[in-house]
Structure 1
């Protein structure tokens, strides 16, 4: 059986030693390391972290020729076991790669485990080797023979499964709960001593039970698609992110987001963490099993393109906070505040009029994960706008007597929890809504027209209120402000007053109308809307004088506030209750 031994070779140098054993190798055995990890759509070139790659058979050196950036061929002599060893540099604190220091270790198989080409369908094993004293191991991979700390031998049915089970290593907090008969484990690394683990478990359990019931019903016969599930949460001073897997998720969150003992309120930070948990858990169904047809089989050597990330990521982003509301973990005002934040963010992105969410899905490999100063002008987030497409479809379906909930379950049943295409989505919408939704898909998904959210929300008893815009929003600027760097422009939005004035990303805004600026909002005290003002900026060691006119209106878009109507009509009240609470 193909086996990988993972040793913490040098925690201070952040080096894993990975030893691959291949029984009965081919005469010219090809080996390769994935260039990306499913769920994160960017070629990350994991092979750049490999060094000291060597091979032996029976203790004798084997010629190992590198073919390209991530592939090798071993010239084997006979059928004796091929042993390939490599060092892997691991100092990536994200959820996508690998990390190792004296306090913690973490890895995804895509960054450590060479693929034995032609043998991917065979069972694979991971053996945890030398680790610092006292370290534990946590993973959702099936244990074959492990000790009480989880150190030992694990097995996966094939290579795809092997690299779909991340490992957490170190001294961490661990808790557990059951959700509809499925054991769930929760691992938290780096938590402060006042961390309220029992509350985190209780709240996560409510999310998991609600989502299992959403997909499979609340009855005793309902069965989730996994036998067990593991949350691997690493907390740090700063950071936020998650990556879904078939029976686990790797999460990164700031420590301040954890619940604290003795504090019953749900802070905004904790709500963000619960939303992340909800998002990644929903992916257990929507992308790990129900997935784009193009992902039926992953190609680990190159980009895997799809036009459907607006559905798999965007719709998941719609449901993550919605489940917090339906579980009672946040109330309606807070949910509407989160929704308004997304609406405001999309409205303040000129790229929404340039790129459709379908094209944004396709371009994820070169745009979403490689943002720069022009990103807001050229592209739109398939997460954010995709979630608003889901909202628009859900409220439209509810007015038609159905719901997006029904569509999701229809897709699950029709595909048997497997690959789907856009035609399947259109068919499920038609079957559930009783009419074609091709026009909505063409305009909202493949077009760049504005989504009719204000009217749809009004039909659910939600009032849309425009709020005063900040100076940055009125000028079409995004800035960083600090005592060290002052006011620095990070993005100049297309069509705004700042662009018209000649402000460029990277400019330090020094003064306006003769007054030194420490905060951009202070400019409103010395600028008269509609009248030009002198602006001093520093660019490349030069001080430039520009003339800028503060728009009298909201500029590129005012912030939105959503408020539940206290006395909605009967139909709106019924729709709102079904949407937010059932």
Structure 2
């Protein structure tokens, strides 16, 4: 029988008012214990202040039943004065703030526990084992979690708090489906009103994708992996864990073929984190300090590489055609180039400031902030092509990742530094990637992706010059408002602001349909009259349209040199 000094009992306090109840029994000879609730969760790099939702904290001595003296000493911290070696802490967690992969959520239909937002830990004892008892069967018949099940019913074990916080818990009255891939048992659980044939199809498709990833990475580090997929409400997002991923997707979209491929892309992304991030990781991403930001400049490796390979694995398993694969790649490139943000923020700064910029976006973020997902993926694509050309198709980026896995995760049991990443790449390939790409990491400059795409004969085609009005709109209650300003289009003197209501363009009353039609009819460099409303007052503005291309795409050249043909074939035919 497993034993631990920290035993949690989780109950449903009120499913309709969205409260979990937690009782924590602590065995300790200390005269006082200091308890913390994490302020953030790994994989989602922003201070979340989970303690906002903690209520009715109390402490008693288990031997006498007397209430104990306690004091909240910080926003996430409580100090309890003990009397004996058995102390029971009780508190409620409100679980209805946001419907996301990183927050607690409880309704009468299902419950989701993001462990970092539910379980207190004792300061200084984060490496201690933990037992979780779930008393939720009156509401939910099934519990889905990667935590190890104990012999006692509905009891689970974590070797330490890092494992606990890396293990979500989903409560439901629905069942799961299983499949095996390369020696690893996979469990797929789907929340929502979804047919069993759909579950079977998704499981079969995931089997193909997971087998490919395991094969290309040289084996699975797991004997068990859990997919949690919530299709109960419109949402999108995923969060990786060491033996699990949590994914949210809109149920209305899964019957559409293109949207279904986006779901597979999401699941492929989170599954590849099984290696990249959860084991192959920048050194700052573990061990964690759950109270403060854990800063790193290498999220472009963690998320950028994963963002490239999520679609690459769909291509190599024939879920995407070559044309669809190229379309996905060019979509990221064009979105990156839509504004001048590359000249405002470097890729490393994008990673380092994720905590207060990427995850705290505002109406101007697209003009000033670079995505380490998008630009990181584009940079990794360029590295892949550069490696294939310079090593004559001998070394791939996956070879580097597998070497990092062996050297740092398996042998040294830690993450890697930026220098160690580039040293490993050089040892594997003989190529100095740092010399080639360093400036694009540290400096806010545009990335010359066309140069690297030429290594496989991909050429940019831009035709049909059209007007760009310089802002994007959103509809609220039937009215039209400025939702996004494209900073590089207008001169600074053009007085159009976010949240301005667009009343008319060139004298014509605007609706969303009329705006779309009008925008298509505008000519490049045309003078346009805008009637808008701001703070209850109307205002007239004149602007000159910018230019863009109606058709933008990358195409494969047919007349290419033999050395380019070899790199092209190697890149596209690794199946």
TM-score of the aligned structures, taking structure 1 as reference length:
0.92
Residue 80 of structure 2 is aligned with which of 69, 74, 79? 74
Which moved further from structure 2: 393-402 or 572-581? Answer: 572-581
Give the Cα–Cα distance (whole angstroms) in 1 for the partners of residues 475 and 569 of structure 2: 42
Determine whether 1:561 maps to 2:565. no
Give the Cα–Cα distance (whole angstroms) in 2 for the partners of residues 89 and 344 of structure 1: 41
State the Cα distance separating 1:467 from its structure 2 match.
Answer: 5.3
Structure 1 residues 364-401: Cα deviation after superposition (integer angstroms, max 9, x where no partner): 01011111111012211111111001011111111112
Structure 1 residues 200-235: Cα deviation after superposition (integer angstroms, max 9, x where no partner): 01111111111111221xxxxx4x212211001111
Correspondence for 1:88: 93
Determine whether 1:359 maps to 2:344. no
Give the Cα–Cα distance (whole angstroms) in 2 for the partners of residues 559 and 498 of structure 1: 25
State the Cα distance separating 1:468 from its structure 2 match.
Answer: 5.0
Unpaired segments of 5 or more residues in structure 2? none
Where 1:376 maps in the other structure, the secondary structure is helix
Give the Cα–Cα distance (whole angstroms) in 2 for the partners of residues 498 and 479 of structure 1: 19
Where 1:497 maps in the other structure, the secondary structure is coil
Give the Cα–Cα distance (whole angstroms) in 2 for the partners of residues 38 and 525 of structure 1: 44
Conservation of the 8 A alpha-carbon contact between 2:466 and 2:523: no
Which moved further from structure 2: 45-54 or 434-443? Answer: 434-443
Give the Cα–Cα distance (whole angstroms) in 2 for the partners of residues 131 and 13 of structure 1: 18
Correspondence for 1:315: 305
Correspondence for 1:541: 536
Residue 137 of structure 1 is aligned with which of 139, 143, 151? 143
State the Cα distance separating 1:503 from its structure 2 match.
Answer: 0.9
Where 1:534 maps in the other structure, the secondary structure is strand
Where 1:495 maps in the other structure, the secondary structure is coil
Conservation of the 8 A alpha-carbon contact between 2:239 and 2:245: yes
Conservation of the 8 A alpha-carbon contact between 1:477 and 1:493: yes
State the Cα distance separating 1:500 from its structure 2 match.
Answer: 4.3
Determine whether 1:505 maps to 2:498. yes
Give the Cα–Cα distance (whole angstroms) in 2 for the partners of residues 542 and 157 of structure 1: 62
Correspondence for 1:16: 20
Correspondence for 1:263: none
Where 1:18 maps in the other structure, the secondary structure is strand
Residue 193 of structure 2 is aligned with which of 191, 194, 207? 191
State the Cα distance separating 1:277 from its structure 2 match.
Answer: 0.6
State the Cα distance separating 1:126 from its structure 2 match.
Answer: 0.8
Determine whether 1:124 maps to 2:130. yes
State the Cα distance separating 1:527 from its structure 2 match.
Answer: 3.9
Where 1:239 maps in the other structure, the secondary structure is coil
Give the Cα–Cα distance (whole angstroms) in 2 for the partners of residues 288 and 469 of structure 1: 45
The aligned length equals: 559
Alignment of 1:468-483 (within 5 A): 474-481=468-475
Alignment of 1:448-527 (within 5 A): 448-466=444-462, 474-481=468-475, 484-497=477-490, 500-518=493-511, 519-524=514-519, 527=522
Alignment of 1:335-350 (within 5 A): 335-350=325-340
Residue 545 of structure 2 is aligned with which of 543, 550, 569? 550
Correspondence for 2:118: 112
Where 2:296 maps in the other structure, the secondary structure is coil
State the Cα distance separating 1:342 from its structure 2 match.
Answer: 0.7
From the superposition, tell whether residues 526 and 458 of structure 1 become closer, same or farther in structure 2 (CA, over 3 Å). Answer: closer
Give the Cα–Cα distance (whole angstroms) in 2 for the partners of residues 524 and 74 of structure 1: 64
Unpaired segments of 5 or more residues in structure 1? 217-221, 261-265
Conservation of the 8 A alpha-carbon contact between 1:234 and 1:251: yes
State the Cα distance separating 1:426 from its structure 2 match.
Answer: 1.1
Determine whether 1:296 maps to 2:286. yes
Give the Cα–Cα distance (whole angstroms) in 2 for the partners of residues 35 and 467 of structure 1: 50
Give the Cα–Cα distance (whole angstroms) in 1 for the partners of residues 48 and 17 of structure 2: 21
Give the Cα–Cα distance (whole angstroms) in 2 for the partners of residues 371 and 382 of structure 1: 14
Give the Cα–Cα distance (whole angstroms) in 2 for the partners of residues 539 and 227 of structure 1: 59
Give the Cα–Cα distance (whole angstroms) in 2 for the partners of residues 245 and 488 of structure 1: 39
State the Cα distance separating 1:430 from its structure 2 match.
Answer: 1.9
Structure 1 residues 211-269: Cα deviation after superposition (integer angstroms, max 9, x where no partner): 111221xxxxx4x21221100111133111011111001111111343x5xxxxx7110
Determine whether 1:394 maps to 2:372. no
Which moved further from structure 2: 31-40 or 114-123? Answer: 114-123
Where 1:509 maps in the other structure, the secondary structure is strand
Give the Cα–Cα distance (whole angstroms) in 2 for the partners of residues 439 and 539 of structure 1: 51
TM-score of the aligned structures, taking structure 2 as reference length:
0.93
